[in-house]
Amino acid sequence: MLPSYVMRPRSAQAALALDTVDTDAAAAAKKLAAGRDITLKILEPSGSLGNVKPVAEVWTAQTGIKVEYIEVPLGEINQKMLLEAVAKTGAFDIALPATFGIPDLVESGILVNLDKYAAKYQPDGFQADTLYSIGDFYKDSFYGYQTDGDTYVMFYLKEWLDNPEEQKAFADANGYALKVPDTWEELDAQLKHFHRPDKGQYGGALFRTQYFIAWEWWVRFHAKGFYPFDNDLNPQINNEAGVKALEELVAASQYLYPGARTNGLFENFEAYGKGDSYANIGWGGTQKYLNSDKSSVKGKLAFGFTPGGNVKGKLLKTPYFNWGWNYVVSSVSKEPEIAYLFTLFATSPKESTVAVRDPDGYFDPFRSEHYKDPDIIKSYSEAFLVVHEASMRGSIPDLYLKGQGEYFDALRVAIQDVDVGKQKPKEALDDVANTWNRITRRAGKKGQQEQWKFLKSLYPRSIRDELT
C-alpha cells in the first residue's frame, strides 16, 4: 500500500496548496535558509541541463539559494551515486538517477526516505496528476519524484499504412485489415509485409542491440498474460509463453533494417528519420527528433501503444515504462529538507512544464498539465501526445528490485545470443531463470519477495487482473 499522504483526497488538509506549490515550496525553503549562504549541488545526466537549469534559476530568484550543476555521462549517474554511498563526500545534495536503479540506491543507503517531508509539504492531489509514479516508491516508502515520462510508444509511417494498394495486398494475404496493430502477431505480419530490402525498404527499425533488446521481449512476454515471477519469486520467464515470445522476437528480426543490431539510441533516431523503415519503437525523445526539421518523417507518422496479446479471450495491452529520471535527495546532504523542497518545486505543475518544454532535453511529459501546453504540443505533436498520455496512464513498471541491472543484464545477453543463433530459446531462458534465482538468493529472498509483492500491487488494475 502507498503511504497515506499519497492517497489523501483532494479535500483533506495539507501544508501546501496544489495551485501554489512552487511558490509555497520556495517560500518554505527560504525560511529554512534564512541568514545562511546555501548552495545545492545537483548531480544530473549530461544532456539534461536544459531541463534543470531554467527551473533552478527561478528557484534561486525566489529563495536566494544557489544551485551548482554536476554533469556525468548518461549511463554512469547511478554508479556515481553508489560510489558516494561508500565515500560519503557530500558531493551532491540532489541527483537525477535512472528510475530503474532506485531499489539499489535505496539499499546502498545513499537516498533519503522522503516520507516525512512529503507528508509535511506535498499538496493533496499532487501525485494524482502525475501519470506514472510507481518508480517513486520502494517497499512502501517514497524516495523521489518522477520527472520524465519514458513510456514505450510505437511509430509507423502513415503513408505506407494508409496506402490503398498496400492495404488491399495485406488484407488479401493475411485476412484482416492493415491498421495500427493491436497485437504483436499483427505487427510481425506488417513488418514482413513491408520488408523489401531489394528496394531499400525495411519492415522496421526496432532495437536488436544488447542493451535495448530485452525491453521488447519484456512487453511481448507480459502481453501473453504472465508476470516475470510467481508470488514466491520463482522465475516464470522460461515458461511456454516466455519461449514463444522470444521465438517471435527472433523471427521478426529478419524484417528489420541493417542497423538493428549495431545502432545505438541516437543512431536509431537518425536511421528511422530517413523514412525507409515502416515501424519503430521508442520514447518521447524519439518523437522530438522525428518531429524536428532534422527528420524526413516529420508530420508523416501514426502512433500506437506497444502491441498486446489475446489473453483469456480478450485483448490485453501492456504499455511499458522502462527508463525515466527521478529527483532524489542524498543521505549525505547537510540540507535534506531544503533539497526535498527543491524536488517538490521542480516537479510542480508550473515548473515541470518549463522543464519539459526544452526541445533538446531528456524530460518528456509526465503530468496531465503538460499535454495542454502549446510549446510542448509543438515539440511532440498532438497526435503523439494523445497516445503518449494514454500509455503513461496504463504502463506496467520496470523490474524495480534490488539487483535490477543484474537481472536484466542476464536477460539481455541471453536474448541477444538467441537472436544471433548462439543459443536456443528454451535453453537460454532456462539459464537466465537459474541466474535469476542466484541473484535473488544473494540479494536476500525475503526482502525481494517483500518488494515484489509491493510492486505487483502497483501494476495497473486492468492489467493486474489478467496476469498470472
Domains of the chain by range and CATH?
Answer: 4-146+326-361 (3.40.190.10), 150-322+389-468 (3.40.190.10)
User: What's the confidence (pLDDT) of residue 10?
Assistant: 41
Which strands sit side by side in the sheet containing 277-282, from one edge to the other? 202-204, 277-282, 153-157, 301-304
Give yes or no for a contact between 398 and 135, defined as CB atoms under 8 angstroms apart.
yes
Could you say which residues of the chain have pLDDT below 50? 7-12
For residue 9, the model assigns a pLDDT of 46
Alpha carbon distance 135, 325 (integer Å): 9
pLDDT digits (tens, 9 = 90+) for 405-452: 999 999 999 999 999 999 999 999 999 999 999 999 999 999 999 999
Q: What is the DSSP-derived secondary structure letter of residue 263? A: -
Relative to beta strand 309-311, strand 314-316 is antiparallel
Query: pTM for the whole thing?
Result: 0.96
Map grid coordinates 549495431 to a residue.
Answer: 262
Give the end-to-end CA distance of the chain in Å, rounded to a whole number. Answer: 20
pLDDT (0 to 100) of residue 449: 98
pLDDT at 6: 61
Q: What is the pLDDT of residues 102-112, one digit of tens each?
A: 999 999 999 99
Residue that is written with C-alpha cell 510505437 in the block = 154
pLDDT reported for residue 3 = 66
